[in-house]
Structure 1
Amino acid sequence: MIIALSACSLAEPEVEEPGFTATKTFSQGDKEIAKVLSIGSSNLEVAAGPYQKALLCELAVQTITNQLSSGEALAGEQRTALKQVQAIYSQRVSASGEDEAQINRDRREIELAYPDVKQRARLAIGCLRELT
């Protein structure tokens, strides 16, 4: 009798692991919200062309450079790298052939369209990713 009891206690019960077979389908609205909220997601595709994209990136990179430089959050090399990125986008703006007055008007429109520093930071990440 003791042998039978010990034999039963040694048997391990079979545990069935839950499976993950269900998949969720996301609506187009859910996908758009996720895209906007994702870090580095940029609205660069809303820019009508290379000129507007360059203006947008120039502003975005300038904004994060100024924000991070004021608190000495950047090492010298990092500051230099961001200035170089800003220069790349500035050169692209200049190469567009637009006159200075038009560039200033367009730059002001972009500043008004993207007043939030956090939004500009997300755009800047997208601009940096685009260069890599």
Structure 2
Amino acid sequence: MDTTPSTSGLSSPPKIDRFGYLKRSCKSVLIERDDIVRWRRQYLTSIKRYMSEGLKSPSGKGKHLIILHAGCEQGFVKETLLVFESKKTGDYHEDMNGTVFEQWFSEFLKKLPDCAVIVMNNASYHSRQIEKVPTTCSLKKDVQY
């Protein structure tokens, strides 16, 4: 059985930006472009340097901007952008909570066309229980009507 790949489909150079096309003595060869090779070497050298210097990722401490927006295939929905600076330096969830989200969401719903589909992640402020379901740790006074 012959396992040699067919070259019948390679009559013209392939359209790949990252590679050059070279034909040497009846054998077609793809070669990587010199600028791509140089770029990769520079990238790997800089990564190695950053790792050796002990470059650390941001700590997450300090001021945060909270940005809330909605978009669709046509782009962002107009007049739905909410941006504010977090007053806390720790967990931003203290500033971005169910109350803030519900106020924004009620205004957002007015700007949506009929039959729109809304997709949200599972953030705690996207859904909250008005009446908590009792658990085994609930107090008797909280369970009684």
TM-score (norm 2): 0.23
Larger radius of gyration: 2
Higher RCO (Cα < 8 Å, 6 or more apart) = 1
Q: Which has the higher helix share?
A: 1
TM-score (norm 1): 0.24
